[in-house]
Structure 1
Amino acid sequence: MAPIRTRDAKHASKESRPESAIKKRKGFSVGPANLPDGTYRRKTQKLKSDLIQKAKVKKAYAKIKAEELATQPKSVYATADEDRTNEDADPASTELHPDRIAMLNEPAPAPEPTPKNERRPRQEGQGQRRERKPRESAFKKEMEIADQRRQFAEAREKEREAKQKEREAMIRAKRPDQFGKRRLGRESKALLDRVQRIVGQS
């Protein structure tokens, strides 16, 4: 009969395995692995580096905290509790300390009056709220340009109407009267209005 093997290759311990056979842990990944070089890839790389940095800081903090807790002495309350349990202390007496009794027997000092904040008398115009300056509109320039255009258009419209009235007046003035003669008075009035308008513009 063949001897029973104590160790089989399948059941070999980790120590006996060569280091190349031990599977290395893969690092964590953020985002898809097949991103082209660009904005999204750089963003995922930044997120990953931030996460690694935060993990390192947390690890260092935990290490420092553990060292501090190990070197820190026990709290005063914990030591007092231990002392109380270890020693058979007398029950607490109900008598007051002599200093406390002396302090209670002294007459209480009169409280000092708190100084009132004296207000300065209001001068005229100070009591009222300060009027806010009107805030300049963001479209002030555009509104001014629009006003100028509107005024220009109105002026053109008035001029057009005045010319139209002059034409109509001139046509009426040139009509002959019932005897077939020209009406020079009407013509002269229409011409005078026209001259006044031209002189007024210039």
Structure 2
Amino acid sequence: MAPKRTHDGDFFAKDGAEPAKKRKGFSVGPANLPDGTYRRKTQKIKSDLIQKAKVKKAYAKIKAKESATKAPKSAYERAAEEEGTTQGTEPEPASLGLHPDRVTMLNEPEPEPVPTPAPRPRRPREDGKRQSRPPKPSAFTKEMEIAEKRKQAAEARQREREAKQKDREATLRAKRPDQFGKRRLGRESNVLLSRVQRMVGQ
């Protein structure tokens, strides 16, 4: 039989106390790992964490016991113990005299200041104009050189194409027969000679 509902609408026992919640243990890694390397690794991590927590708890208990038995000392008391003085004695008053290092520093003669050379005034140029600085090197000098080389190479290729075209046209004209159907050997020899000269010149 189910417990009776209270006025608040909760299913609690008649005494009004909440049922005790079960404390769930912590988990490391996924719960559904198969038995193997990863599962053993997560179990090792969990056991290490439990061990560290136990050590921390034990240390906290010991520290609490010691602090309860001994009252904490202030920083002044610890400093006094280190110097070997007791709490009852007052510290020595500071002397009004100068520190010995300060006295020796004051007694030493002052070093002579090294004179700094005065800056030389600029001489005006003979023609009266201001001296111009050398121009700053351009950031794109290398790129400009490369572009210039490419441009020159393109122009050379264009000239070569034009020369070959002219040579072709001259060869066609020279091979064209005359009005009687005979070859014009003079024209052909001139074209062949110019082609040989160009090949030798390269």
* TM-score tier after normalising by the smaller chain length: 0.3 to 0.5
Greater relative contact order: 1 or 2 (C-alpha under 8 angstroms, separation 6 or more)? Answer: 1
Report the TM-score, using the length of structure 2 for normalisation.
Answer: 0.35
